[in-house]
Chain A
Amino acid sequence: MAPIDRCMASVAKLSLAPTVRPSISSTIPRFLAPSLVQTRHASVVKIGRKKQVKKAKPLSKDFKRHKLDKADFPQFTLCEALRILRAYEVGKPPGAVKYEMHVHLKTARNGPVIKSSIRLPNPVQSDWQIAVVCPEGSDIANAAVAAGAKLVGEETLFQAIRDGNITFDRLICHELSEKKLQKAQLGKILGPKGLMPSARMKTVVKDVAKAIRDSAGSSDYREREGAVRMAIGQLAHSPEQLKANIEAVMKKLRAQCAEISEENPKEVHEVILSTTNGPGISLNGKFRNLTEEITPQQLSGPM
């Protein structure tokens, strides 16, 4: 059959009249008609000014950090800051407002970044929805459900993620299922959300129940653009509770900075406390001035 088909095709091609295109080269040889081929430049007037190309200043290797003490930049004690922030958040429902902390680091633009999670003494949010990747119907799955996992499974879970049906905030993977998870190629979907389990983030684990317990009250943080930003407390927390949270985070951050600092030294530069709607207030590291008339008791309790 094939040869006949080919034959027919060539016949059909012949029967179609080819469109005739006027071409210069068919009548006059190309080298005899330079005026038609070349464009003329002599008659076009050029403006004789050269474009001045401004060289963009190269970015400095470190993030810019202003000298706070030299500028005499005002910093506040925790109680002063809380007084201002609580005034800004008066009458707001406590569920809608959180305290947040920004830690500016003295650090290079490239190099390793600080990234971890911490169990705060007074958790900001404790009702995380956790999903676990583990063999379906196994003892591990049962243990995970008993520990409070919302979703459990392998292929059903992967399918739900592919469909964009992500109803959880945390994803933990059991060691046995790690290969299956990698084969499922969900990195594109989970990666940008920060949900992809990895051994480095301690979300690929042996003991799922323990991981769920650890993860339930913990909050993640990571360094972006030279700053660590995270929610640090609820509006209902007292100054002492907030102090405990801030101290815990700062202790861990300092330890991490010291650990990392072989080639890229990192250092804490400034700590800023803020709320959802309030201004950012630079903290000076003290709890309260003894001369202040405001006591921590006045700053706790209902707003």
Chain B
Amino acid sequence: MRTLGVRWNKLRRALINLQTGPGAAIIPPNVTRVHMDFAVTCKGGHMGPKKFWREILPRLKYHNPSIPMIVNRHRQNEIPPKMTIYVRNPDVPEPSEPQSLQQPPSSHAGLSKAQPPLPTEKTIELDMKDKHSSYILEYFVAETRAQVLKPTPEQVQEIQSLQDLAKQGEYDRGVLDKLRAEKKREKDMLARARQAGGLSED
């Protein structure tokens, strides 16, 4: 069983990575859902959206747990990757009873196509072909007017302490590597001497 320190430091890294960094932003309540459609493989300009999903979308999801973020991946690389943002339409009055979303869950087999918007919604679309993940985030933040979160002083301190920990780890690893190399050198030397001189240990 791993010690508590090892477990906690690993979880600390996972948590701070989720809470801060690119994508840590609060999306305003008029955004109802986000849909991404891209291929499983990168060929044909699908790398940016994939990276966006892998690296940035978890942070957006952490800070906006109630907004469905659907990812639909397929094998047709020739279809340009597309992001659809569903926004509440201010021109249409809000219906009295909330409508149920007819949105299939995320799929890796192309089964979750972007649905047509509800009558109270309008869509914003982005062609993500050949776009970098950071560009996609910039566009997303600008279009939805999301409020980007800066790390709080405690979080800055946490990041700093994790960096210190990593530095110390690097140093310790170097020291131990040297020690191990020295031991191995001595052992090899002894073995060589034994082979050449016919000395035996027992």
A contact set with B: CB distance below 8 Å: 44-47, 51, 63-66, 68, 71, 73-74, 83-84, 86-88, 90-94, 96, 236, 279-281, 294, 297-299, 301-303
Contact check, B58 vs A90: say whether CB atoms are below 8 A apart: yes
Checking B7, B69, B198, B200 against A90 with a beta-carbon cut-off of 8 angstroms, the contacting residue is: B69
User: Which of B8-16, B85-93, B150-158 sits within the interface?
Assistant: B8-16
Q: Are B201 and A302 in contact (CB under 8 A)?
A: no
Structural contact, A74 and B8, CB atoms closer than 8 A? yes
Please judge, given known A-B contacts A44-B200, A68-B4, A281-B11, whether A91 and B65 are in contact too, CB under 8 Å.
no
Residues of B within 8 A of A301 (CB): 66, 68, 101
Hey, which chain B residues are within 8 Å of A88, CB to CB? 18, 58
* Per-position binary interface string of chain B over residues 62-74, scored 1 when its CB falls under 8 Å from any chain A CB and 0 otherwise: 1001101111000
The dominant DSSP class at the A interface is loop
With a cutoff of 8 Å between Cβ atoms, the chain B residues found around residue A297 in the complex are 66
A-binding residues in B (CB < 8 A): 1, 3-4, 7-8, 10-11, 14-15, 18, 36, 53, 57-59, 61-62, 65-66, 68-71, 101, 103, 105-109, 198-202
Give CA–CA (A281, B12) in the complex, Å: 11
Task: Decide: B65 and A299 in contact? CB cutoff 8 A.
Answer: yes
Asked whether B201 lies within 8 Å of A47 as measured between CB atoms, the reply is yes
A-B contact list, 13 entries, CB within 8 Å = A66-B4, A73-B8, A84-B15, A84-B18, A87-B65, A90-B71, A93-B109, A280-B11, A299-B66, A301-B101, A302-B101, A302-B105, A303-B105
A302: B residues at CB distance < 8 A: 68, 70, 101, 103, 105
Partner among B3, B8, B70, B201 whose Cβ is within 8 Å of the Cβ of A91: B70
Bound together, the chains give a CA A88 to CA B18 distance in angstroms of 8
